[in-house]
Amino acid sequence: MRIKLINIALCTLVLFATIIWWQNVRIQRVTKENTRLESNQNTLLSDIDRYQTRDGINVASIERLQLTKKELEKNKKELIEIIKGLNIKVKRLVSLTETTTNTEYDVITPVSDTVIILKTDTIELKCIDYKNIWLTLNGCFDDKEFKGEIASRDSIVQVVHRVPKMFWFIKYGTKGIRQEVFSKNPHTTIIYNEYIELTK
């Protein structure tokens, strides 16, 4: 009888320990999901932070957005179609970045006279030829239109980093993940930026 009571007590203890362990796992899962959703809400409600470095480089900074595969497929259908077109499976994605830029130039360059001699006619055109490290512009005007070529060069740099928590002046742990994006072309402005990290 006593052995039976001990066995019942042990079984009850094991059952309680299992229930406590399972509840702890569920609480951790829910806490992690709540943290992710709160972080996403803050990211979606915040604007892009813009600043300029000492070198005069314009930088756009944004917090990461953590999405599940389902959330990504539901909210970013156009992006998903592009990814599928690249023969990449969504389940293999680690992160995505989408950046929109705008490049504006003020071009001042001399206009030269160019004479083209055809078999039957001679045509006088006004032509321009402009080139710097970021832009090439050349072409000619006739009475009706401009024909030429414009080539703009750029280099976009993206830096993903941890933002530490702070207590007074002590930095510790991770408060969030941010992405800093900048263009090496001084004429380019980052209009829109989004950094998505996939989570299970």
- CB burial of 155-170 (b: ≥16 within 10 Å; e: otherwise) equals eeeeeeeeeeeeeeee
Instruction: Mark whether 161 and 69 lie in a shared domain.
Output: yes
Instruction: Mark whether 56 and 107 lie in a shared domain.
Output: yes
Quickly list DSSP for the chain.
Answer: -HHHHHHHHHHHHHHHHHHHHHHHHHHHHHHHHHHHHHHHHHHHHSPPEEEE-TT--EEEEEE-EEE-HHHHHHH-HHHHHHHHHTT--GGG--EEEEEEEEE-------EEEEEEE-SS-EEEEEEEEEE-SSEEEEEEE-SS-EEEEEEE---EEEEEEEEEEEETTEEEEEEEEEEEEEESSTTEEEEEEEEEEE--
pTM beyond 0.95, yes or no: no
Query: Is the pLDDT reported for residue 151 higher than 70?
Result: yes
- Range of 7's domain? 1-45
**Strand 188-198, strand 65-67: pairing:** parallel
Q: What is the mean pLDDT of residues 111-135?
A: 73
Q: What pLDDT score was predicted for residue 119?
A: 63
Query: Is the pLDDT reported for residue 139 higher than 70?
Result: yes
Instruction: Mark whether 111 and 28 lie in a shared domain.
Output: no
Instruction: Mark whether 22 and 60 lie in a shared domain.
Output: no
Average pLDDT across the chain, whole number: 80
Instruction: Mark whether 25 and 117 lie in a shared domain.
Output: no
**Cβ atoms within 10 Å of 60's Cβ, excluding its own:** 23
Beta bridge partners of 114: 125
Instruction: Mark whether 23 and 71 lie in a shared domain.
Output: no
State the total domains in the chain.
2
**Cβ atoms within 10 Å of 74's Cβ, excluding its own:** 11
Instruction: Mark whether 38 and 125 lie in a shared domain.
Output: no
Tens digit of each residue's pLDDT (9 = 90 or more) over 62-119: 888 888 888 888 888 888 888 888 887 877 777 888 888 888 777 676 666 666 656 6
Instruction: Mark whether 65 and 91 lie in a shared domain.
Output: yes
Instruction: Mark whether 57 and 41 lie in a shared domain.
Output: no
